């Protein structure tokens, strides 16, 4: 189990040099949540959450060796963009003009390309009120970055609330039509990082449909209703039981179409519960989709902060975002941002306990 960070007294966030040549910000409230954010990748590196007895544990997966955030643990806790998830073959057209993005080994563009926002050093400043404390992170992505058009200015706020909430808010403006789809890619284990897997967690997803995918995880057809499929999580279900269903193939890495979705006010998207500790995490978002990834490809290569190798199911990512490959799917919510408009997205993680 990871040690609790230095005691906080509600003062503004504490900033220290980080091993990845950036900064490490720690902030929170005594007896409640405490978060650690790194400016390399605008990355959530740790989150200490009380269990049903008030015992704090870090519930966010991260590598012991910071260098792995450039390779095997690249997306752990990072802010990913310009476009979270996949764009088929890295190609799309906007206003009749074709664009080619950088692509990964499978030939598709994932999480913004080969040099996405997760690799960048963000600028940070502290925010502190009686009810919220945290950081604002800023980045400029230049025109042509990874093949995307337009200069894009992004601000991400990561704030801890006194009522045990962790809030991510994203804003962006551009000087030319472009695509924007941002999210945080943290993996959670509500029993505590390094304690094993999340297969005994119970998961609920407030979705009406999911997105079938092909072998490259590119959408392969229209959104499919959940009833009768391996992806029906409208009622709480133990993750091990869900993944044992025919068609789940031992793991999820799929987009769920939230119902209802969109709007200016965050609505509940999912609820995660660890019966062993009583910790609960409610996910609320303004985004239309939720990518559920149960880390089925983890193979022990990454050694976690506690010294434990991360194997299949060591954590779960619940990524609030637009749908995969939506620039090439006219029926999906549009990720296009135009000059004079502002991209706005908000996700709140609300923590509680059950006995």
Query: Which positions are catalytic?
Result: 185, 319
Tokens found for residue 310 = 């991360």
Of 14, 63, 20, 19, give the one whose Cα is nearest residue 34. 14
Tokens 């991510």 sit at which residue?
168
Strands 14-17 and 165-174: unpaired
CA distance 320 to 257: 10
CA distance 182 to 42: 12
DSSP state of 227: T
Burial class (CB within 10 angstroms; exposed 0-12, middle 13-18, buried 19+) of 182: buried
* Alpha-carbon gap, residue 270 to 266, rounded angstroms: 12
Which H helix or E strand runs over 102?
none
Structure tokens, 47:
């989150």
Q: Is the dihedral of CA 206, 209, 215, 217 positive or negative?
A: negative
195: left (phi over 0), alpha (psi -120 to 50) or beta: alpha
For 232-274, give the DSSP string: --SS-EEHHHHHTSTTSTT--EEEEEESS--SSS-EEEEEEE-
d(CA 71, CA 194): 20
Nearest CA among 353, 351, 20, 347 for reference residue 158: 347
């Amino acid at each position: 189990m990871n040690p609790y960070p230095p005691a906080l007294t509600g003062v503004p966030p504490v900033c220290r040099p980080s091993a990845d040549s950036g900064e490490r910000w720690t902030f929170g409230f005594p007896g409640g949540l405490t978060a650690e954010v790194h400016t390399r990748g605008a990355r959530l590196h740790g989150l200490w959450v009380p269990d049903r007895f008030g015992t704090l544990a870090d519930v966010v997966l991260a590598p012991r060796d910071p260098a792995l955030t450039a390779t095997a643990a690249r997306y752990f806790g990072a802010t990913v963009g310009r476009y979270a998830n996949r764009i088929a073959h890295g190609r799309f057209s906007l206003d009749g003009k074709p664009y080619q993005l950088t692509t990964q080994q499978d030939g598709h563009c994932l999480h913004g390309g080969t040099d996405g926002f997760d690799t960048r050093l963000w600028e940070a400043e502290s925010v502190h009120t009686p009810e919220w404390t945290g950081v604002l992170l800023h980045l400029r992505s230049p025109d042509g970055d990874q093949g995307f058009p337009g200069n894009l200015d992004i601000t991400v706020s990561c704030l801890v609330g006194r009522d045990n909430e962790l809030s991510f808010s994203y804003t962006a403006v551009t000087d030319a039509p472009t695509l924007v789809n941002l999210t945080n890619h943290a993996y959670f284990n509500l029993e505590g990082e390094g304690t094993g897997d999340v297969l005994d967690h119970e998961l609920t997803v407030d979705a009406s449909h999911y997105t079938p995918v092909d072998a490259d995880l590119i959408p392969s057809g229209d959104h499919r209703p959940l009833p009768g499929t391996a992806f029906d999580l409208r009622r709480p279900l133990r993750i091990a039981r869900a993944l044992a269903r025919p068609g789940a193939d031992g793991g999820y890495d799929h987009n769920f179409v939230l119902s209802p979705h969109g709007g200016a006010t965050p609505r509940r998207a999912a609820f995660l519960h660890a019966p062993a500790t009583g910790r609960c995490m409610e996910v609320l978002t303004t985004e239309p989709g939720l990518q559920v990834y149960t880390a089925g490809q983890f193979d022990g290569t990454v050694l976690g902060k506690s010294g434990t190798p991360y194997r299949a199911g060591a954590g779960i990512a619940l990524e609030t975002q637009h749908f995969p490959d939506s620039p090439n799917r006219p029926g999906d919510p549009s990720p296009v941002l135009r000059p004079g408009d502002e991209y706005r997205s908000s996700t709140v993680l609300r923590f509680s306990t059950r006995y």
